[in-house]
C-alpha cells in the first residue's frame, strides 16, 4: 500500500521561530523550503521518476540519479575489492570494511561503528525512540528506510529483480548480496589465512577461528559458542524438553524439523545421497562420506594422535580424545553429574524427567528410554502372539 501525500499534506508555519516551517504530515519531518518537502513526499508515495539507463534502477530525483551514475563510470573504485561507489565519501566509508576502522563510539555501551549515522540510529536502541509508524499494523521503527521496507510486507512489493535468474527482493542490499551467487565475488578476505567470503558478517564470524573468541555463553552450562545461532541450537537440543515436531507415520516427537525430516526417511525409504562411484545410496550425508572413505578412499581420515585410531568424522574424533583425557563438559543441571557427550547427558536426564516419549505399539505402555521400549516390545509381542520384527 502506498501512503498518499498530496498538496494538503503541507503544513505551513510562517511565524514559527523553529527552522523548517514545512512539515510532512506522514512522518513529521520538517523542511525550510516547500520544494524540498515535495521532493521528500516521493519517499512515502514510492514514486521514482528518474531511471538509470544501464541497470534500470530508479530514483526520486535527478541528483540521486546523477550520483548513482558514478557507480557505472567507476569514478570511485575500491582498490582492494574493485567495488564502485557513487561518491568519494561512500568509498571512504567502504574502505573501513577492509581496514576494520570504526571511529564512532557509543557513549552508553562502547559499541563502535564505521559511520556516524549508524551510531545515531544505534543510540535509539538505548532511548527506545521509534518515530516512524506503520499505518497498517501500527508497528514502529527507528529509521524511515526500515518503515519503507516494512511496507513491502503489506504490499508484497519486490522491486529489485535479478537479471540472471529473475529472483526478486524487497531490499536492494539483498539483491546485491544475491548477485554474488552468480558472479562468485567474495570481496571480504581474511588477513590471517587469505580465505575469502561474500558477506562481511561471515568474515567477522570466521575471524573467531583465529582469535578463539566465543562471545555467546550458555547460561545453563557455561559452554560458549562463536555464533548466536549455535547457542540457540545448543539450548534447544540439550536443555529444552520441547518436541514440537511429530512424525505423521509413527507419532514420534522431535525437537527440530531437520531431525524429523531425517527420521521420516526411515518410513519412506528415501535415500537422497548417492555415491558417484557405485550404485549405493544413503539416507544421510555423513553415511555417504563414510562410504566414500571406506569403499573408495575418497576424503580424509581423522586420526587420533594418542592411539592412532581412525575416524571418518571429525566430531567422532573430538569425542574420542575427550575419553582419553577424561574431559566431561556436559553437566546435569539436576544432580551435577558430568558426561562426555550431549547424547549421554540427554539419556541421563530421563532419570529426572516424568516425560515418556516412547510407546509400545502392542499394548500402549509408555517408556522414558527407547532401549527399554524395544526390549519390552519383544516380550509383549511374543506374549500377545505377534512376531516382533
Provide the CATH number for the domain around residue 337. Answer: 3.30.160.60
For the chain, the average pLDDT equals: 83
- Shared domain for 327 and 346, answered yes or no, is yes
- How many domains does the structure of the chain reveal? 2
For residue 28, being part of any structural domain is answered with no
The count of C-alpha atoms lying within 13 angstroms of the C-alpha of 48, restricted to the half-sphere facing its C-beta, is: 11
For residue 104, being part of any structural domain is answered with no
Q: What is the pLDDT of residue 3?
A: 37
- Shared domain for 350 and 320, answered yes or no, is yes
Q: How much of the chain is in helix, strand and coil states, percent to nearest 5?
A: 40, 15, 45
Examine the pLDDT at 42 and tell me if it is beyond 80. Answer: no
- Tens of pLDDT, residues 294-309: 999 988 899 999 999 9
Residue span of the structural domain in which 377 resides? 356-389
Examine the pLDDT at 162 and tell me if it is beyond 50. Answer: yes
Name the grid cell of 362.
502392542
- Shared domain for 371 and 346, answered yes or no, is no
Q: What is the pLDDT of residue 147?
A: 87
Confidence category of residue 46, pLDDT binned at 50, 70, 90: low
For residue 85, being part of any structural domain is answered with no
Confidence category of residue 7, pLDDT binned at 50, 70, 90: very low
- Shared domain for 349 and 372, answered yes or no, is no
- Shared domain for 313 and 343, answered yes or no, is yes
- Tens of pLDDT, residues 215-239: 888 887 778 888 888 888 888 877 7
For residue 370, being part of any structural domain is answered with yes
Confidence category of residue 324, pLDDT binned at 50, 70, 90: very high
- Shared domain for 315 and 348, answered yes or no, is yes
Examine the pLDDT at 388 and tell me if it is beyond 70. Answer: no
For residue 320, being part of any structural domain is answered with yes
- Shared domain for 316 and 342, answered yes or no, is yes
Q: Say which DSSP state 368 is in.
A: S
Name the grid cell of 343.
547424547
Of 22-26, 118-122, 158-162, 247-251, least confident by mean pLDDT is 22-26
For residue 93, being part of any structural domain is answered with no
- Shared domain for 343 and 361, answered yes or no, is no
Examine the pLDDT at 15 and tell me if it is beyond 70. Answer: no
For residue 319, being part of any structural domain is answered with yes
Examine the pLDDT at 384 and tell me if it is beyond 70. Answer: no
What b/e string do you get for 107-122 counting C-beta neighbours within 10 Å, with b at 16 or more? Answer: eeeeeebbeeebbebb
Q: What is the pLDDT of residue 386?
A: 53
Of 188, 156, 186, whose CA–CA distance to 170 is shortest?
156
Q: What is the pLDDT of residue 19?
A: 53
Q: What is the pLDDT of residue 201?
A: 86
For residue 316, being part of any structural domain is answered with yes
- Tens of pLDDT, residues 239-257: 777 888 888 888 888 888 8
Amino acid at each position: 500500500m502506498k501512503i498518499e501525500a498530496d498538496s494538503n499534506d503541507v503544513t505551513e508555519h510562517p511565524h514559527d521561530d523553529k527552522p523548517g516551517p514545512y512539515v510532512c504530515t506522514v512522518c513529521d519531518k520538517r523542511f525550510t523550503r516547500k520544494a524540498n518537502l515535495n521532493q521528500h513526499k516521493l519517499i512515502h508515495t514510492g514514486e521514482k521518476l528518474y531511471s538509470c539507463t544501464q541497470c534500470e534502477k530508479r530514483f526520486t530525483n535527478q541528483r540521486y540519479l546523477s550520483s548513482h551514475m558514478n557507480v557505472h563510470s567507476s569514478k570511485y573504485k575500491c582498490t582492494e575489492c574493485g567495488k564502485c561507489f557513487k561518491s568519494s565519501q561512500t568509498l571512504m566509508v567502504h574502505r573501513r570494511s577492509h581496514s576494520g576502522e570504526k571511529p564512532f563510539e557509543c557513549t552508553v555501551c562502547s559499541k563502535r561503528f564505521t559511520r556516524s549515522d549508524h551510531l545515531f540510529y544505534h543510540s535509539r536502541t538505548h532511548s527506545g525512540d521509534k518515530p516512524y509508524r506503520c499505518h497498517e499494523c501500527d508497528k514502529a521503527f527507528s529509521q524511515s528506510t526500515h518503515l519503507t521496507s516494512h511496507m513491502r510486507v503489506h504490499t508484497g512489493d519486490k522491486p529489485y529483480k535479478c537479471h540472471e535468474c529473475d529472483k526478486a527482493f524487497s531490499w536492494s542490499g539483498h539483491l546485491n548480496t544475491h548477485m554474488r551467487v552468480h558472479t562468485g565475488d567474495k570481496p571480504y578476505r581474511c588477513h590471517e589465512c587469505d580465505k575469502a567470503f561474500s558477506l562481511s558478517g561471515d568474515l567477522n564470524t570466521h575471524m573467531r577461528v583465529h582469535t578463539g573468541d566465543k562471545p555467546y555463553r550458555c547460561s545453563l552450562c557455561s559452554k560458549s559458542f562463536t555464533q548466536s545461532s549455535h547457542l540457540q541450537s545448543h539450548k534447544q537440543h540439550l536443555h529444552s524438553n520441547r518436541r514440537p515436531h511429530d512424525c505423521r507415520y509413527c507419532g514420534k516427537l522431535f525437537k527440530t524439523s531437520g531431525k524429523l525430516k531425517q527420521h521420516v526417511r526411515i518410513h519412506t525409504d528415501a535415500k537422497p545421497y548417492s555415491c558417484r562411484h557405485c550404485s549405493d545410496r544413503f539416507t544421510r550425508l555423513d553415511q555417504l562420506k563414510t562410504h566414500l572413505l571406506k569403499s573408495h578412499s575418497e576424503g580424509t581420515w581423522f586420526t587420533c594422535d594418542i592411539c592412532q585410531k581412525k575416524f571418518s568424522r571429525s566430531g567422532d574424533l573430538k569425542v574420542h580424545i575427550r575419553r582419553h583425557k577424561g574431559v566431561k563438559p556436559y553437566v546435569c543441571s539436576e544432580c551435577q553429574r558430568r558426561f562426555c557427550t550431549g547424547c549421554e547427558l540427554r539419556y541421563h536426564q530421563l532419570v529426572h524427567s516424568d516425560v515418556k516419549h516412547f510407546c509400545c505399539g502392542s499394548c500402549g505402555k509408555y517408556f522414558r528410554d527407547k532401549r527399554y521400549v524395544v526390549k519390552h516390545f519383544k516380550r509383549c509381542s511374543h506374549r500377545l502372539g505377534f512376531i516382533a520384527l
